[in-house]
Amino acid sequence: MRIDMHAHYVPPRILTALERDAVPYGVRVQTSSDGSSCLHFNYGVTLRPFFPQLLDLDERWRVMEAQGIDMQLLSVWTDISGYGLEPAAGARWHRLLNESLTEVTRQHPQRLAALASVPLQDAARAAEELAYGVRQCGAVGGVIATNIEGKNLDEPALDEFWSAAVELQVPLFLHPVQPVSVPRTDRYYLTAITHYLYDSTVTIGALLFSGVLDRFPTLQLILPHGGGFYPYHAGRFDIVYTNLEHTRQKIAQPPSAYLQRFYYDTIVHHPTALQFLCTLVGSERLLLGSDYPFPMADPDPVQHCIQAGFPSTEMAAITGDTARALFRLG
């Protein structure tokens, strides 16, 4: 079975619920100038319009068949996490997201599974929602953004959430959110090319140097887009660890020693880069991903693994076997 663990979907039921009564969630649907839907959060954020494919299942089946993918693990569009919402509203919002998403995956259990999202602005509520998503809705893991309204994920208060993930024995997918672009990256889609990887890399550094991975040695974390810049510049992290004493206070080993503590998706868009990532972390740490349906998606993830020249046993692990074991898909 070939499993794409990095794919996004927003059930239209969510928009219908907001159009019926948006007040409990602090989120409302707006119509953009071209007639498409977008979300406005009451703390002042309006997102770009939804890509039509993000709300569509029929086109998804066609794309999966063309790619040779048997199953997608779905996470909602991380930009709609709404971490700026008041905690109670955020909890209601993620309950709507999770119940709507898992309603769809339960209708297609052989083809889809869900990752539960959580209101990470409140660690206790996030832990509760992760447990609800896994135990009540059947989610096979969790998905969180790589920052909380500009704050890293190294705050001690989040230990309650990390503890919940460990207790539930489910992996967490760390996904960047759309950054505020700076003038230098306004053109040529440079924001998407660079800033998403930057967001992931900063979060990884914060998790490492704060000792989160040492405090939770069985915590399972998945990094998107081949791990940002971390795997390819782990030596740069190590130089800081070696030369600056204060960076060593909470971390037991040099940052490069943690390369195999993470899982990584295959979305690096180049077979040689994928080969190098495999050399650094091992094929057992790689998971097939596409990032469907966004413009930066890998249109043919299986073919890129083939082009990387992996032997058959590694190919089987990367394209499905590891994900099936990690997410306990049977």
Q: What angle do CA 65, 70, 76 make, to 5 degrees?
A: 95
Find tokens 């209708």 and name the residue. Answer: 107
pLDDT tens for 197-213 read 999 999 999 999 999 99
User: H-helix or E-strand containing 199?
Assistant: helix 196-209
Q: What is the per-residue pLDDT for 51?
A: 87
CATH number, position 267: 3.20.20.140
Query: 102-112: per-residue pLDDT in tens?
Result: 999 999 999 99
The arithmetic mean of pLDDT across residues 153-163, rounded, is: 97
Find out whether 178 and 166 touch, Cβ atoms under 8 Å: no
Q: Note the pLDDT of residue 134.
A: 98
Provide the phi-psi class of 183: left if phi over 0, else alpha when psi is between -120 and 50, else beta.
alpha
Total domain count, the chain:
1
**In degrees rounded to 5, what are phi and psi of residue 51?**
-65, 135
Question: What is the overall mean pLDDT for the chain?
Answer: 96
Helices and strands in the chain, H and E counts: 13, 10
pLDDT in tens, 235-278: 999 999 999 999 999 999 999 999 999 999 999 999 999 999 99
Residue 118 corresponds to which tokens in the numbers above?
């959580």
Confidence bin at 32 (pLDDT 50/70/90): confident
What is the extent of the structural domain holding 268? 3-326
pTM (whole model) above 0.95 = yes
Closest CA relative to residue 4, chosen from 323, 292, 288 = 288
